[in-house]
Protein backbone atom coordinates (compact mmCIF):
# COMPACT_ATOMS: atom_id res chain seq x y z
CA UNK A 1 0.00 0.00 0.00
CA UNK A 2 1.43 3.38 -1.04
CA UNK A 3 1.86 6.28 1.36
CA UNK A 4 -0.87 8.17 -0.49
CA UNK A 5 -3.34 5.31 -0.01
CA UNK A 6 -2.49 5.12 3.70
CA UNK A 7 -3.21 8.83 4.12
CA UNK A 8 -6.45 8.48 2.17
CA UNK A 9 -7.59 5.51 4.28
CA UNK A 10 -6.76 7.36 7.50
CA UNK A 11 -8.69 10.50 6.57
CA UNK A 12 -11.57 8.50 5.08
CA UNK A 13 -11.95 6.58 8.35
CA UNK A 14 -12.06 9.87 10.23
CA UNK A 15 -14.76 11.25 7.94
CA UNK A 16 -16.77 8.05 8.26
CA UNK A 17 -16.65 8.37 12.06
CA UNK A 18 -18.37 11.76 11.78
CA UNK A 19 -20.99 10.34 9.43
CA UNK A 20 -21.62 7.35 11.74
CA UNK A 21 -22.69 9.87 14.41
CA UNK A 22 -25.36 11.12 11.99
CA UNK A 23 -26.23 7.66 10.67
CA UNK A 24 -25.31 8.37 7.02
CA UNK A 25 -22.00 6.47 7.03
CA UNK A 26 -20.31 4.67 4.14
CA UNK A 27 -21.39 1.09 3.47
CA UNK A 28 -19.85 -1.01 0.69
CA UNK A 29 -23.08 -2.98 0.26
CA UNK A 30 -24.81 0.23 -0.89
CA UNK A 31 -23.45 -0.47 -4.38
CA UNK A 32 -25.91 -3.39 -4.69
CA UNK A 33 -28.85 -1.86 -2.82
CA UNK A 34 -31.80 0.13 -4.06
CA UNK A 35 -32.51 3.57 -2.61
CA UNK A 36 -35.23 2.16 -0.34
CA UNK A 37 -32.91 -0.59 0.90
CA UNK A 38 -30.18 1.96 1.68
CA UNK A 39 -32.55 4.01 3.84
CA UNK A 40 -34.17 1.00 5.51
CA UNK A 41 -30.74 -0.35 6.51
CA UNK A 42 -29.99 2.91 8.38
CA UNK A 43 -32.64 2.98 11.09
CA UNK A 44 -30.59 5.35 13.24
CA UNK A 45 -30.38 7.81 10.35
CA UNK A 46 -34.14 7.58 9.73
CA UNK A 47 -34.73 8.25 13.43
CA UNK A 48 -32.51 11.32 13.22
CA UNK A 49 -34.38 12.56 10.16
CA UNK A 50 -37.70 12.17 11.97
CA UNK A 51 -36.38 14.14 14.94
CA UNK A 52 -35.03 16.85 12.66
CA UNK A 53 -38.30 17.02 10.72
CA UNK A 54 -40.25 17.51 13.97
CA UNK A 55 -37.77 20.20 14.94
CA UNK A 56 -38.25 22.03 11.60
CA UNK A 57 -42.04 21.79 11.91
CA UNK A 58 -41.81 23.40 15.36
CA UNK A 59 -39.56 26.14 13.96
CA UNK A 60 -41.82 27.06 11.05
CA UNK A 61 -44.91 26.87 13.24
CA UNK A 62 -43.29 29.43 15.56
CA UNK A 63 -42.61 31.67 12.54
CA UNK A 64 -46.21 31.41 11.35
CA UNK A 65 -47.59 32.27 14.79
CA UNK A 66 -45.07 34.81 16.06
CA UNK A 67 -43.56 36.64 13.09
CA UNK A 68 -45.65 39.78 13.74
CA UNK A 69 -44.70 39.96 17.43
CA UNK A 70 -41.15 38.63 17.18
CA UNK A 71 -38.20 40.96 17.67
CA UNK A 72 -35.65 41.63 14.95
CA UNK A 73 -32.98 39.58 16.70
CA UNK A 74 -35.35 36.60 17.02
CA UNK A 75 -36.23 36.71 13.32
CA UNK A 76 -32.62 37.06 12.22
CA UNK A 77 -31.56 34.30 14.63
CA UNK A 78 -34.26 32.05 13.15
CA UNK A 79 -32.90 32.25 9.58
CA UNK A 80 -29.34 30.85 10.01
CA UNK A 81 -30.49 28.20 12.50
CA UNK A 82 -33.23 26.83 10.26
CA UNK A 83 -31.01 27.11 7.18
CA UNK A 84 -28.36 24.97 8.87
CA UNK A 85 -30.97 22.33 9.75
CA UNK A 86 -32.35 22.28 6.20
CA UNK A 87 -28.84 22.01 4.83
CA UNK A 88 -28.04 19.10 7.16
CA UNK A 89 -31.21 17.35 6.05
CA UNK A 90 -30.37 17.88 2.36
CA UNK A 91 -26.70 16.85 2.59
CA UNK A 92 -27.30 13.70 4.63
CA UNK A 93 -30.27 12.63 2.48
CA UNK A 94 -28.33 13.03 -0.77
CA UNK A 95 -25.31 11.21 0.69
CA UNK A 96 -27.45 8.16 1.50
CA UNK A 97 -29.51 8.39 -1.70
CA UNK A 98 -26.34 8.44 -3.81
CA UNK A 99 -24.72 5.69 -1.75
CA UNK A 100 -23.73 3.64 -4.81
CA UNK A 101 -21.94 6.67 -6.29
CA UNK A 102 -20.15 7.32 -2.99
CA UNK A 103 -18.81 3.74 -2.85
CA UNK A 104 -17.94 3.89 -6.55
CA UNK A 105 -15.94 7.09 -5.99
CA UNK A 106 -14.06 5.64 -3.01
CA UNK A 107 -13.18 2.40 -4.84
CA UNK A 108 -12.14 4.22 -8.02
CA UNK A 109 -9.89 6.60 -6.07
CA UNK A 110 -8.15 3.66 -4.41
CA UNK A 111 -7.68 1.89 -7.76
CA UNK A 112 -6.14 5.03 -9.28
CA UNK A 113 -3.79 5.30 -6.30
CA UNK A 114 -2.75 1.66 -6.73
CA UNK A 115 -2.03 2.17 -10.46
CA UNK A 116 -0.06 5.37 -10.00
CA UNK A 117 1.86 3.79 -7.10
CA UNK A 118 3.42 1.19 -9.43
CA UNK A 119 5.66 3.77 -11.05
CA UNK A 120 9.00 5.03 -9.79
CA UNK A 121 9.30 7.32 -6.76
CA UNK A 122 8.28 10.87 -7.58
CA UNK A 123 9.93 13.27 -5.18
CA UNK A 124 8.23 16.32 -6.67
CA UNK A 125 4.69 14.97 -6.71
CA UNK A 126 5.03 13.35 -3.29
CA UNK A 127 6.15 16.64 -1.80
CA UNK A 128 3.18 18.42 -3.34
CA UNK A 129 0.84 15.63 -2.21
CA UNK A 130 2.06 15.81 1.37
CA UNK A 131 1.58 19.57 1.35
CA UNK A 132 -1.99 19.26 0.05
CA UNK A 133 -2.87 16.60 2.63
CA UNK A 134 -1.32 18.67 5.43
CA UNK A 135 -3.43 21.70 4.46
CA UNK A 136 -6.54 19.51 4.22
CA UNK A 137 -5.91 17.96 7.64
CA UNK A 138 -5.35 21.36 9.24
CA UNK A 139 -8.53 22.69 7.64
CA UNK A 140 -10.55 19.69 8.83
CA UNK A 141 -9.16 20.07 12.35
CA UNK A 142 -9.99 23.76 12.46
CA UNK A 143 -13.53 23.12 11.24
CA UNK A 144 -14.00 20.34 13.78
CA UNK A 145 -12.87 22.60 16.64
CA UNK A 146 -15.20 25.34 15.37
CA UNK A 147 -18.17 22.97 15.27
CA UNK A 148 -17.40 21.59 18.74
CA UNK A 149 -17.10 25.07 20.27
CA UNK A 150 -20.24 26.17 18.44
CA UNK A 151 -22.18 23.19 19.73
CA UNK A 152 -20.99 23.76 23.31
CA UNK A 153 -22.09 27.39 23.09
CA UNK A 154 -25.35 26.24 21.51
CA UNK A 155 -25.94 23.96 24.49
CA UNK A 156 -24.94 26.24 27.37
CA UNK A 157 -26.14 29.54 25.85
CA UNK A 158 -29.79 29.04 26.92
CA UNK A 159 -28.68 28.12 30.44
CA UNK A 160 -26.66 31.33 30.73
CA UNK A 161 -29.55 33.38 29.37
CA UNK A 162 -31.89 31.72 31.88
CA UNK A 163 -29.56 32.67 34.71
CA UNK A 164 -29.25 36.27 33.49
CA UNK A 165 -33.03 36.67 33.21
CA UNK A 166 -33.55 35.13 36.64
CA UNK A 167 -31.02 37.48 38.22
CA UNK A 168 -32.55 40.57 36.60
CA UNK A 169 -36.27 39.76 37.04
CA UNK A 170 -36.39 37.12 39.78
CA UNK A 171 -38.50 34.85 37.52
CA UNK A 172 -37.35 31.47 36.30
CA UNK A 173 -38.09 31.49 32.54
CA UNK A 174 -36.27 28.59 30.91
CA UNK A 175 -34.68 29.21 27.50
CA UNK A 176 -34.08 26.81 24.59
CA UNK A 177 -31.39 26.94 21.85
CA UNK A 178 -33.73 27.42 18.86
CA UNK A 179 -36.80 29.63 18.66
CA UNK A 180 -39.62 27.11 18.20
CA UNK A 181 -43.25 26.39 19.05
CA UNK A 182 -44.22 23.35 21.12
CA UNK A 183 -47.68 22.08 22.13
CA UNK A 184 -46.65 22.78 25.74
CA UNK A 185 -45.00 25.63 27.59
CA UNK A 186 -41.31 25.06 26.88
CA UNK A 187 -40.33 27.79 29.36
CA UNK A 188 -41.87 25.76 32.22
CA UNK A 189 -39.11 23.82 33.99
CA UNK A 190 -41.38 20.74 34.10
CA UNK A 191 -41.54 20.49 30.27
CA UNK A 192 -38.39 22.37 29.34
CA UNK A 193 -36.07 19.26 29.31
CA UNK A 194 -38.16 17.71 26.50
CA UNK A 195 -37.69 20.70 24.19
CA UNK A 196 -34.11 21.33 25.29
CA UNK A 197 -32.79 17.80 24.69
CA UNK A 198 -34.80 17.48 21.48
CA UNK A 199 -33.05 20.56 20.13
CA UNK A 200 -29.67 19.39 21.38
CA UNK A 201 -30.21 16.17 19.44
CA UNK A 202 -31.16 18.13 16.30
CA UNK A 203 -28.12 20.39 16.71
CA UNK A 204 -25.80 17.39 17.07
CA UNK A 205 -27.21 15.83 13.90
CA UNK A 206 -26.80 19.15 12.06
CA UNK A 207 -23.15 19.53 13.06
CA UNK A 208 -22.05 15.93 12.42
CA UNK A 209 -23.83 15.51 9.07
CA UNK A 210 -22.80 18.89 7.61
CA UNK A 211 -19.18 18.64 8.76
CA UNK A 212 -18.92 14.99 7.72
CA UNK A 213 -20.38 15.63 4.28
CA UNK A 214 -18.19 18.69 3.69
CA UNK A 215 -15.11 16.76 4.83
CA UNK A 216 -15.77 13.96 2.34
CA UNK A 217 -16.18 16.55 -0.42
CA UNK A 218 -12.84 18.20 0.45
CA UNK A 219 -11.12 14.83 0.86
CA UNK A 220 -12.28 13.62 -2.56
CA UNK A 221 -11.24 16.86 -4.27
CA UNK A 222 -7.74 16.82 -2.75
CA UNK A 223 -6.95 13.21 -3.65
CA UNK A 224 -8.38 13.56 -7.16
CA UNK A 225 -6.17 16.64 -7.56
CA UNK A 226 -3.18 14.56 -6.42
CA UNK A 227 -4.00 11.98 -9.08
CA UNK A 228 -4.17 14.71 -11.74
CA UNK A 229 -0.72 15.91 -10.60
CA UNK A 230 0.66 12.36 -10.78
CA UNK A 231 -0.83 11.94 -14.25
CA UNK A 232 0.89 15.16 -15.37
CA UNK A 233 4.24 13.83 -14.19
CA UNK A 234 3.77 10.57 -16.11
CA UNK A 235 2.83 12.46 -19.28
CA UNK A 236 5.93 14.64 -19.00
CA UNK A 237 8.10 11.52 -18.71
CA UNK A 238 6.39 9.47 -21.41
CA UNK A 239 9.01 10.37 -24.03
CA UNK A 240 12.57 9.81 -22.72
CA UNK A 241 15.11 12.53 -23.35
CA UNK A 242 17.92 10.31 -24.62
CA UNK A 243 16.30 7.53 -26.60
CA UNK A 244 15.87 6.81 -30.27
CA UNK A 245 12.15 7.24 -30.31
CA UNK A 246 11.55 6.80 -34.03
CA UNK A 247 11.71 3.01 -33.89
CA UNK A 248 8.97 0.34 -33.90
CA UNK A 249 10.13 -0.94 -30.50
CA UNK A 250 9.77 2.45 -28.88
CA UNK A 251 6.37 3.08 -30.45
CA UNK A 252 5.08 -0.26 -29.17
CA UNK A 253 6.27 0.59 -25.65
CA UNK A 254 4.92 4.12 -25.99
CA UNK A 255 1.47 2.94 -27.04
CA UNK A 256 1.28 0.62 -24.03
CA UNK A 257 2.12 3.42 -21.56
CA UNK A 258 0.03 5.93 -23.46
CA UNK A 259 -3.12 3.78 -23.35
CA UNK A 260 -2.69 3.38 -19.60
CA UNK A 261 -2.41 7.17 -19.22
CA UNK A 262 -5.52 7.70 -21.36
CA UNK A 263 -7.47 5.19 -19.25
CA UNK A 264 -6.36 6.91 -16.03
CA UNK A 265 -7.32 10.29 -17.47
CA UNK A 266 -10.76 9.04 -18.47
CA UNK A 267 -11.28 7.46 -15.05
CA UNK A 268 -10.30 10.71 -13.30
CA UNK A 269 -12.80 12.64 -15.42
CA UNK A 270 -15.47 10.08 -14.55
CA UNK A 271 -14.66 10.37 -10.83
CA UNK A 272 -15.11 14.14 -10.97
CA UNK A 273 -18.48 13.61 -12.68
CA UNK A 274 -19.49 11.14 -9.93
CA UNK A 275 -18.56 13.74 -7.29
CA UNK A 276 -20.69 16.23 -9.20
CA UNK A 277 -23.68 13.87 -9.07
CA UNK A 278 -23.32 13.44 -5.31
CA UNK A 279 -22.92 17.11 -4.38
CA UNK A 280 -24.34 19.33 -7.15
CA UNK A 281 -27.80 19.72 -5.58
CA UNK A 282 -26.54 20.45 -2.07
CA UNK A 283 -23.99 22.86 -3.58
CA UNK A 284 -26.84 24.81 -5.15
CA UNK A 285 -28.58 25.06 -1.77
CA UNK A 286 -25.43 26.49 -0.18
CA UNK A 287 -24.79 28.98 -2.97
CA UNK A 288 -28.43 30.12 -2.96
CA UNK A 289 -28.62 31.02 0.75
CA UNK A 290 -25.03 31.84 1.70
CA UNK A 291 -25.13 35.56 0.94
CA UNK A 292 -28.23 36.07 3.11
CA UNK A 293 -26.98 33.97 6.03
CA UNK A 294 -23.51 35.59 6.04
CA UNK A 295 -25.08 39.04 5.85
CA UNK A 296 -27.54 38.40 8.69
CA UNK A 297 -24.86 36.85 10.92
CA UNK A 298 -22.54 39.82 10.40
CA UNK A 299 -25.38 42.29 10.96
CA UNK A 300 -26.43 40.73 14.26
CA UNK A 301 -22.84 40.47 15.43
CA UNK A 302 -22.33 44.21 14.94
CA UNK A 303 -25.69 45.40 16.29
CA UNK A 304 -26.40 43.11 19.26
CA UNK A 305 -25.47 44.36 22.74
CA UNK A 306 -25.61 40.91 24.34
CA UNK A 307 -22.21 39.19 24.41
CA UNK A 308 -23.82 35.73 24.19
CA UNK A 309 -25.83 36.59 21.09
CA UNK A 310 -22.79 38.25 19.51
CA UNK A 311 -20.69 35.15 20.09
CA UNK A 312 -23.37 32.91 18.57
CA UNK A 313 -23.67 35.06 15.45
CA UNK A 314 -19.88 35.29 15.12
CA UNK A 315 -19.79 31.49 15.09
CA UNK A 316 -22.46 31.36 12.39
CA UNK A 317 -20.56 33.95 10.34
CA UNK A 318 -17.22 32.11 10.45
CA UNK A 319 -18.83 28.70 9.87
CA UNK A 320 -20.76 29.76 6.76
CA UNK A 321 -17.85 31.74 5.35
CA UNK A 322 -15.51 28.75 5.71
CA UNK A 323 -18.09 26.38 4.28
CA UNK A 324 -18.55 28.43 1.11
CA UNK A 325 -14.79 29.02 0.81
CA UNK A 326 -13.96 25.30 1.09
CA UNK A 327 -16.66 24.49 -1.46
CA UNK A 328 -15.26 26.93 -4.01
CA UNK A 329 -11.56 26.47 -3.18
CA UNK A 330 -11.46 22.69 -3.57
CA UNK A 331 -13.60 22.83 -6.69
CA UNK A 332 -11.18 25.39 -8.08
CA UNK A 333 -8.30 22.97 -7.37
CA UNK A 334 -10.00 20.30 -9.48
CA UNK A 335 -10.50 22.68 -12.42
CA UNK A 336 -6.91 23.95 -12.35
CA UNK A 337 -5.28 20.54 -11.97
CA UNK A 338 -7.41 19.02 -14.76
CA UNK A 339 -6.42 21.73 -17.27
CA UNK A 340 -2.75 21.41 -16.30
CA UNK A 341 -2.78 17.99 -17.97
CA UNK A 342 -2.55 19.79 -21.32
CA UNK A 343 0.46 21.75 -20.04
CA UNK A 344 2.19 18.46 -19.29
CA UNK A 345 2.12 17.68 -23.03
CA UNK A 346 3.96 20.95 -23.75
CA UNK A 347 6.52 20.11 -21.05
CA UNK A 348 7.28 16.69 -22.57
CA UNK A 349 9.69 15.96 -25.40
CA UNK A 350 6.87 15.85 -27.93
CA UNK A 351 8.96 17.61 -30.60
CA UNK A 352 11.30 14.61 -30.78
CA UNK A 353 8.49 12.23 -31.69
CA UNK A 354 7.15 11.24 -35.09
CA UNK A 355 3.76 12.20 -36.52
CA UNK A 356 1.94 9.17 -35.08
CA UNK A 357 3.09 9.90 -31.53
CA UNK A 358 2.30 13.61 -31.91
CA UNK A 359 -1.21 12.72 -33.04
CA UNK A 360 -1.76 10.61 -29.91
CA UNK A 361 -0.43 13.38 -27.67
CA UNK A 362 -2.65 15.95 -29.39
CA UNK A 363 -5.67 13.85 -28.48
CA UNK A 364 -4.84 14.11 -24.75
CA UNK A 365 -3.88 17.79 -25.08
CA UNK A 366 -7.23 18.80 -26.58
CA UNK A 367 -9.20 16.87 -23.92
CA UNK A 368 -7.04 18.32 -21.15
CA UNK A 369 -7.85 21.86 -22.26
CA UNK A 370 -11.46 21.27 -21.24
CA UNK A 371 -11.54 21.66 -17.43
CA UNK A 372 -13.37 19.25 -15.15
CA UNK A 373 -15.93 21.26 -13.21
CA UNK A 374 -17.98 20.95 -10.07
CA UNK A 375 -21.13 23.03 -10.23
CA UNK A 376 -24.15 24.15 -8.26
CA UNK A 377 -26.44 21.72 -10.13
CA UNK A 378 -25.38 23.29 -13.44
CA UNK A 379 -26.51 26.75 -12.33
CA UNK A 380 -22.97 28.01 -11.76
CA UNK A 381 -19.43 26.70 -11.80
CA UNK A 382 -17.79 26.63 -8.38
CA UNK A 383 -14.52 28.54 -8.16
CA UNK A 384 -12.89 31.35 -6.22
CA UNK A 385 -14.58 33.94 -8.45
CA UNK A 386 -17.97 32.67 -7.21
CA UNK A 387 -16.76 32.92 -3.60
CA UNK A 388 -15.67 36.50 -4.23
CA UNK A 389 -19.08 37.29 -5.71
CA UNK A 390 -20.89 35.78 -2.70
CA UNK A 391 -18.79 37.83 -0.26
CA UNK A 392 -19.39 40.96 -2.33
CA UNK A 393 -23.15 40.36 -2.40
CA UNK A 394 -23.17 39.69 1.36
CA UNK A 395 -21.37 42.99 1.95
CA UNK A 396 -23.96 44.84 -0.17
CA UNK A 397 -26.84 43.32 1.82
CA UNK A 398 -25.01 44.07 5.06
CA UNK A 399 -24.50 47.72 4.12
CA UNK A 400 -28.18 48.02 3.18
CA UNK A 401 -29.32 46.51 6.50
CA UNK A 402 -26.99 48.82 8.43
CA UNK A 403 -28.40 51.85 6.64
CA UNK A 404 -32.01 50.79 7.28
CA UNK A 405 -31.23 49.98 10.92
CA UNK A 406 -29.52 53.33 11.61
CA UNK A 407 -32.46 55.24 10.13
Q: Residue 281 above 80 pLDDT?
A: yes
Q: Determine the pLDDT at residue 387.
A: 97
Q: Three-state SS for 202?
A: helix
Residues in the chain, total: 407
Q: 239-271 pLDDT, tens per residue?
A: 887 666 667 777 788 888 889 999 999 999 999
Give the separation between CA 343 and CA 329, rounded to whole angstroms: 21
Q: 363-378 pLDDT, tens per residue?
A: 899 999 999 999 999 9
Give the separation between CA 183 and CA 166, rounded to whole angstroms: 24
* Section 132-136 average pLDDT: 94
Spans of all domains in the chain: 3-142+210-406
Residues 196, 176: contact at Cβ < 8 Å?
yes
Residues 401, 302: contact at Cβ < 8 Å?
no
Residues 210, 320: contact at Cβ < 8 Å?
no
Of the pLDDT bands very low, low, confident and very high (cuts 50, 70, 90), residue 350 is confident
Q: Determine the pLDDT at residue 118.
A: 62
Higher-pLDDT residue of 242, 79: 79
Report CA torsion sign: 241, 244, 248, 253.
negative
Non-local (6+) Cβ contacts of 382 within 8 A are 283, 287, 327, 328, 331, 332, 373, 374, 375, 376
Mean of the per-residue pLDDT values for the chain?
91
Give the separation between CA 338 and CA 20, rounded to whole angstroms: 32
Tally the C-alpha atoms within 13 A of residue 361's C-alpha that lie toward its C-beta.
26
Amino acid sequence: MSEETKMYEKLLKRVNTLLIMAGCHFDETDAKRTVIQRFSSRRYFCFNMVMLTIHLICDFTWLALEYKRASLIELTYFIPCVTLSLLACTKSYLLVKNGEHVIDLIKSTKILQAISGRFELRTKTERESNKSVTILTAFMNFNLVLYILGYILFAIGPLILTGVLYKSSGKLVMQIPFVAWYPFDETDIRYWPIAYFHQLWAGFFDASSVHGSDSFYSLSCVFLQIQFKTLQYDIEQIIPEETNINTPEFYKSFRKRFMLIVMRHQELIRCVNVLEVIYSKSNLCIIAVSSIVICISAFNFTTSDDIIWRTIFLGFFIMWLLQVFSLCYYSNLISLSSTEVSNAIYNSYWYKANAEVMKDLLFVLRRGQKPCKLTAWGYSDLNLAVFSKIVSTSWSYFALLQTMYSE
